[in-house]
Structure 1
């Protein structure tokens, strides 16, 4: 059910972004504004990224199979990285366009339609950002959260452009500078999205709160000082696999040691809903 919410939000995002793109592009061409046109294409990339998120969610929901024993969860990371690189391309293009406009001393005169469309875009994009980020966190979808920040970057760029619309008549360079600011926002969003996605791909250390919880479970449910150590956590989208070591007395029977490990694994799975594999080390050295 939760994943279905992600699909619905993605489809809604695609439709709304295409409508906003068409309106913003029309206004940008009407006033010959590189900033408004850049903002329009930024909005269109939201549709493409939402479609990528949609594909990522669909693939990540596929069950594990022989070739992918840990499932397909990392498909969402792939779609997240795609969103990041798409944003980077948009930023590069409009940085170039803005420099050209400043170099040639081109100015733009804005009218009422530019203000109306920009206000509508700002409000709609922030609402979309809120829903994507909130529900993305609820269903543990990194790509949906990334898409939400993509929406928010578009809302920020619309806000900046809105301020510039009121100042444009006083400064000829306003449109070119706004284009550069929008590009900078796009690059910052790109950096944030790719940093998190690549970090997950490379592997991150176990969260301190999760580690402490596991240690407490071992402390209060077993008579032996298990001293859990050497934690390794592997993220597969909405599925995680945890491995770590425990100490048990060297004279303990194999059956007893296996029972302790299996009981510990079950307690952790029930508490945190993650896959667990425990390696047993002997206290005798």
Structure 2
């Protein structure tokens, strides 16, 4: 059901973006405005990125198999990378176009068409942004949230263009400067998307609060023996995460006892965080309890 909501949100985004592109492109041609044309293509590439998100969502729900034992959730991260790369290409193209227009002192003609199209774009894109971000948060979907912020960047760039329209008649270079601004907005959005996605793909450490909570969870599993959880590694697979860490137990414990302690610890952490947990046991002598006495 949750994934279905994400797919519906993505299809709605695709169709609305295509419609907005057509109207904004027409306004850009009529006005001979590089800023409006850049904004139009930015919107069209929203549809391309939304298709990447849709593909990522569909692939991510494919069950785990022998070749992919942790499922296909990282397909969403790949989709987010595609979104970022496409944005970077659009930004570079229109940055170049804006510089050329500035050098040539190209003539533009903002009129009522440009104003109303830009106002409509701001309203529609902000609604789309809020919807995608809300659904993305509910589904814990990086690609949907990235798509939402992509919509918001488009709305913000349209707001700036709208402001420029009202002063454009007095300054010949306004359209070129607005085109550069839209390009920089695209680059900024690209940076945010790529930074978060690449960080997850490279692997992240667990938060300090999570580490402390896991230590606390294990305090009473084996009396008051401190299990010393350490060497944490967490791997994210879309909606599913796997946590691996080590604990220390006395070397004279039986294999069965050590297994039971680790299994109970795993179950408690899994219940708390809804993630998969694997614990490796290090055998060591001379462990101390929480009050300082040696474990027997």
**How much has 1:235 moved relative to structure 2?**
0.8
Matched, 1:16 2:16: yes
Aligned counterpart, 2:37: 37
Report the Cα distance in structure 1 between the residues aligned to 2:92 and 2:184, rounded to whole angstroms.
9
Q: How does 1:150-161 map to 2 (within 5 A)?
A: 150-161=150-161
Q: How does 1:221-260 map to 2 (within 5 A)?
A: 221-223=221-223, 224-260=225-261
Q: Please list the CA deviations of residues 48-92 of structure 1 after superposition, one character each: whole Å capped at 9, or x if unmatched.
A: 111110110110111110000111011001110000000000001
Q: Please list the CA deviations of residues 98-142 of structure 1 after superposition, one character each: whole Å capped at 9, or x if unmatched.
A: 001000011312111111110110011111111111211111100
Report the Cα distance in structure 1 between the residues aligned to 2:37 and 2:19, rounded to whole angstroms.
14
Q: Is the 8 A contact 1:235 1:241 kept in 2?
A: yes
Aligned counterpart, 1:283: 284
Report the Cα distance in structure 2 between the residues aligned to 1:138 and 1:220, rounded to whole angstroms.
34
Aligned counterpart, 1:198: 198
**How much has 1:210 moved relative to structure 2?**
2.0
Q: Is the 8 A contact 2:34 2:175 kept in 1?
A: yes
Q: Is the 8 A contact 1:34 1:175 kept in 2?
A: yes
Aligned counterpart, 2:171: 171
Aligned counterpart, 2:268: 267
Q: Please list the CA deviations of residues 1-37 of structure 1 after superposition, one character each: whole Å capped at 9, or x if unmatched.
A: 1111111110000010000000000100011111000
SS of 2:62's equivalent in the other structure is coil
Larger Rg: 1 or 2?
Answer: 2
Report the Cα distance in structure 1 between the residues aligned to 2:93 and 2:139, rounded to whole angstroms.
34
Q: Is the 8 A contact 1:88 1:186 kept in 2?
A: yes
**How much has 1:188 moved relative to structure 2?**
0.6
Aligned counterpart, 1:116: 116
Aligned counterpart, 2:88: 88
- Per the alignment, do residues 250 and 58 of structure 1 end up closer, same or farther by CA in structure 2, a change over 3 Å counting? same
- Per the alignment, do residues 220 and 138 of structure 1 end up closer, same or farther by CA in structure 2, a change over 3 Å counting? farther
Report the Cα distance in structure 1 between the residues aligned to 2:186 and 2:220, rounded to whole angstroms.
49
Q: Is the 8 A contact 1:107 1:174 kept in 2?
A: no
**How much has 1:220 moved relative to structure 2?**
3.9
Any gaps of 5 or more consecutive residues in structure 1?
Answer: none
TM-align CA RMSD: 1.0
Report the Cα distance in structure 2 between the residues aligned to 1:5 and 1:217, rounded to whole angstroms.
35
Scaled by the length of structure 2, the TM-score of the pair is: 0.94
Report the Cα distance in structure 1 between the residues aligned to 2:220 and 2:137, rounded to whole angstroms.
31
Q: Is the 8 A contact 1:107 1:173 kept in 2?
A: no
